[in-house]
Amino acid sequence: MSTAETTEAGPVVRLFDAISENSDSTVGQMRQVILIVLGIGFLTTAGFVGATLLSRRGPR
């Protein structure tokens, strides 16, 4: 992607490009693994927080 295309792209596209660049190098692969692990951790935490909040509301 060129610089002009990157500035016109949305934030999600720019984030994906930043993650996926240099994936053939060891550092790029480690970056991808770390981001995947952080993403899974975030989703797990969000699930537990949501379940806790819903269970505290009690029956309706």
Residue 16: what residue type? F
Q: Model pTM?
A: 0.57
* Higher-confidence position of 1 and 58: 58
| CB contact set of 35 (below 8 Å; sequence gap of 6+) | 19
Q: Where are the domains of the chain?
A: 3-56
For residue 45, the model assigns a pLDDT of 96
The packing angle between helices 26-56 and 11-20, to 10°, is 130
How many Å is the Cα radius of gyration of the chain? 18
Residues 31-57 have a mean pLDDT of: 90
Most confident of 11-15, 25-29, 31-35: 31-35
